[in-house]
A and B are shown apart, each in its own frame.
Chain A
Amino acid sequence: MFCGFQMKNPQRSPTNPGSVRSRFTQVFLQSLLRIRKHSPASSSSSSSLGEFLKRCHRVKVAAYVSMARAAGTRRAWSRAMLWRVRHDAHRHRLLQGRCSRSSSRERSPGKKKRRTKKKKKRRDDQEHGFGNAEKLQKLVPGGEAMDFSCLLDETAHYIKCLVTQVKVMRSIADFYSL
């Protein structure tokens, strides 16, 4: 398949060796081609600072969405990531005034996250995390609704996927810049 993107250490992948990586690579490459097709012809660099930033943002979002899709919906962080992107895109469209009638749809209970009691969380923080758990909750998608052990588990998987994402993106960038 992607001979150029075969990595040496498959034991970092969470499920089957290479499956998250190759799913991510495939989805992300397709997103990149789609972005390239839809971006305006950037012949001059002067007009396209705004375009560059927009495209940059699209690439970044595509990377995170591709990784969340490759990780699957069994993970709380990937569900939260996909929900957040969809919610942000929807809110972006609302702000742009394209679909005003779907504001009622926004209030639907799309949040599948669990809510934990704050008292228990504070005790866990004092026992284990000393408040660093709060910072971690903000960094991991969906983290604010997780209890401490779930947060640790999701964080480990999230980090593995982020590392894979960075490796694949770097090798794509190296390949493209040949």
Chain B
Amino acid sequence: MTIVAKETIEVIAQSIGINNLSPDVALALAPDVEYRMREIMQEAIKCMRHSKRTKLTTDDVDGALNLRNVEPIYGFASGGPLQFKKAIGHRDLFYLDDKDVDFREVIEAPLPKAPLDTALVCHWLAIEGIQPAIPENAPVEVIAAPADGKSYEQKDGPPVEIKLPVKHILSRELQLYFDKITELALSRSDTVLFKQALLSLATDSGLHPLVPYFTYFIADEVSRGLNDYSLLFALMRVVWSLLQNPHIHIEPYLHQLMPSVVTCLVARRVGNRSTDNHWELRDFTANLSAAICKRFGHVYSSLQTRLTRTLLNTILDPRRALTQQYGAIQGLAALGPNVVRLLILPNLRPYLQLLEPETLFETQRNGMKRHEAWRVYGALLCAAGQSIYDRLKIFPPLPSSLPHAVWRTNRKVITTDPNKRKASMELLEHESPHKKTENDGPPAVMSTDSSSSHLQGETLVPAPTSDSDAGPSSSEQTTKDSGSGSRSGRDKSNGQVLKMSTILNQVWKDDLNSGHLLVSLFEQFGENILTFIPSPEMALFL
């Protein structure tokens, strides 16, 4: 009948030592208890309102009890709302989860940090009725303009002004900002100021109105300035910054941005000077496009598929220039090892066969072309290596103290790859300067050096192999390579390429059914292998 049940009264009575409470008394008390509770809550709500809060706290109840000249309830400090937990098995029974506190711990614990003192900050909520878009203000929905107009139309009062949705007008400040940024991007992209501008683009709120202008600007400039390397790089950096900005909803403009990005990735020529390090731009753009796919892939499900299709077509089209193919491979590699495994590895063997003549001095006399081919080769290697590494990182690194002889053949599958890559990267490093010095002369050296070190850095990160694991083949290779001249080294490496491709293919096949692999391993090593396999995987395979 009442909220407070008769039983509750009895329980409370017992708790204070009255054991023989007659049921009639309990029955009579129950409604009164409820009434008093409501009374106190009513006062507590008043206290809450006057503390300008909308959540009732224990302080308010204490205040209400004070008002009624009742002793307040001790033991509840309201630093925040109390966390009630639901009692399991009961529908509407809640309790406070009070943890036992060990006094010694409390005493021995270092003093907690003093809470921050109250402070007052000031900002403009509105300037002449218009909310400035600063971080302190709530983000304004810029594109939701027409809503106001409609709400006025409903009321039929005579003096109501009906505001039509205005074309949104850029404030003067924003226009200046836009002009400044574009000017910097066009002319002075190497200055510190441009870096600051990029930072501002990446962090400032309130830039949203400019996004369409920026996308248009980027698309326009990319199509016009394909042979201006520094401009393209600056533009891509702008795109990157815009993507970083948490206050901008860039999704609606992605379809305008993507073509420019992809252009920078797989354009035949980027920049018109040989000194332009267009490789770096392609790498950067590859990462950029991957970031876009990662962030908006779930919103636009077709985004990644379209991108990969474009890139794959570029790779598979033998008429495309090697630079384009390099960009496409980097783009796919940046999308992650799974993409590489699904799209690149199946085509690896025929592709390498096609690539091979380009890399050879005999068949390709143009040093530039050859250099490009080596680049493509390096990119491929990187991509494949990463995907394999990703696949195999479920296996713990095998300690080298184990008898090599027993599982050499299989171990190759596992470990050659990173070593190989490392080796061939070294090879590449050695290779390219040689070639460059032969063909292009000094100016090219610097750029290739930087790029190759850049590449190496990139590849080494995911392949933390220990030196002791260096496979026999790779060490052989490096020594031979360094020892012999460029010519012989290249020959050797060609052989290596073929061997590599077969190995990679094999690896890929093995990976597809790594369960298979494991079973064969298990057959070979018996119980030994089980100690190296993490238990979840083991459970999966056994």
**Do A and B associate with each other?**
no
